[in-house]
Amino acid sequence: MNWLLDRFVSRLIRKGSFSITDPAGVTHSYGDGSGEPIRIAIHTKSAERAVALDPMLAVPERYMEGEIDIVEGDIVSFLQLVYTNMDEAGKQAFLIKLGEALRYPFRRLQQFNTAARSKRNVHRHYDLSEELYRLFLDEDMQYSCAYFETPDVSLEEAQRAKKRHIAAKLALQPGQKVLDIGSGWGGLGLDLAGQFDAQVLGVTLSEEQHRVANERARTMGLADKARFEIADYRSLKGPFDRIVSVGMFEHVGINHYRTYFDQSARLLADDGVMLLHTIGRSTGPSVTNAFIRKYIFPGGYIPSLSEVTPAIEKSGLIITDIEILRLHYAETLKHWQARFQKNRAKAVEIYDERFARMWEFYLAGSEASFRWQEMVVFQIQLTKKRDTLPMTRNYIGDAERRLADSKRPGKFTQAAE
């Protein structure tokens, strides 16, 4: 085995039962032998060298290429073993920390997301086949963190609860104008239009999402209330009574945070409310995971709260509420993984085996990052005036209960006055 890899793994993995079968067929064991055994097989010398030099990129990349297999255990259990040992390893995880340190100076260049570049980045991920996303998403095609009010609810109900939670925080009233920045396949905007009689404009940079959302609006008879356009947030004109953005801010990039919130302030009515729902990190500023940046979300970045709040403060917007959703996305991803694995053969038919392996590492790696690393979800509520919303948060729970008690389960109804 490559001597650098052997030394790195032996110093990193102190607990657990981990082994690597090298390209010569020799198995090397690490850890104290506790827990369920995890074994990976590295099939080529080049993969072995790559993992020794840059494990955070090379392990998923070479797995995707079929040069690494997980022989015992699965991706999630493998990453749990690695991440829990990393927490205790400190300086022993030097290769991982070194890779992050070397990438840090280039992160602003990697996130230089002009309007044209943003559209190209979106095309790479969101213009994949609609059929692919239907293999693992819920029936409403919500591609963001669900809200698990109890651990045993279905993915469908948790996604409906997420939409209720957001609508409650918006304090939406019938007939208001709503802007949905990053509207996805239209599910949230269509619910707000249909059940609150709101006038919704949803914007996306994805041709595929734009097509599906407008088809859904026509099918549901909501085309007069909900329209979806291909537009960059920087090109829009207001005002809007309510602004919501779910799972889009991760694609803005740190260079553009001030632009994003300045524009949001211009678009929001003086008595308006904005709700930003975004993945965040519970630690300080960092870099985008190398595999995710290269293969899944080019131009993307997960911010720390300390990177977001200064731009909000300078925009003139007021932070009226922040909620941190911790394990909700881990549970969402667990459901997505199970559905993807159930339909894996179909994913291979749509694309190929390499794509399926890339996607399963992306889903599993994302779940692991929310369970054992610093990933969380921020819900940040914003206004322009201090007295726009009630003085306590009781109105949020009250609205959610009204919505949940609707005669049409899981659907929004007009909020009581």
Q: What is the pLDDT of residues 368-415, one digit of tens each?
A: 999 999 999 999 999 999 999 999 999 999 999 998 887 443 344 443
Which of the listed CATH numbers 3.30.470.20, 3.40.50.150, 3.40.50.970, 3.40.50.300 matches domain 115-404? 3.40.50.150
Res 231: pLDDT = 96
Which of the listed CATH numbers 2.60.40, 3.40.50, 3.30.1050, 3.40.630 matches domain 3-105? 3.30.1050
Residues 166-195, mean pLDDT to the nearest whole number: 96
> Could you tell me the strand order of the sheet in which 17-21 lies?
27-30, 17-21, 37-42, 68-72
Residue 300 has pLDDT above 80, yes or no: yes
Is the Cβ–Cβ distance between 322 and 380 less than 8 Å?
Answer: yes
d(CA 216, CA 14): 53
Residue 312: how many CA atoms within 13 Å on its side-chain side? 19
The three-state secondary structure class of 151 is coil
Res 115: pLDDT = 72
Question: Comparing C-alpha atoms, which of 252, 274, 262, 276 is closest to residue 177?
Answer: 274
Domain borders along the chain are: 3-105, 115-404
d(CA 371, CA 375): 8
Residues 175-188, mean pLDDT to the nearest whole number: 97
Give the range among 144-148, 226-230, 410-414 with minimum mean pLDDT: 410-414
Q: What are the helix and strand counts (H, E) for the chain? A: 18, 11
d(CA 241, CA 238): 9
Of residues 181 and 107, more confidence is placed in 181
Confidence category of residue 287, pLDDT binned at 50, 70, 90: confident
Locate 387 and state its tokens.
Answer: 């007295």
Sign of CA dihedral 96, 101, 104, 106: negative
pTM check: above 0.75: yes
Locate 188 and state its tokens.
Answer: 């949230």
d(CA 221, CA 138): 22
Confidence category of residue 94, pLDDT binned at 50, 70, 90: low
Neighbouring-strand partners of residue 378: 278, 324
| E strand or H helix at 337 | helix 328-342
d(CA 40, CA 20): 5
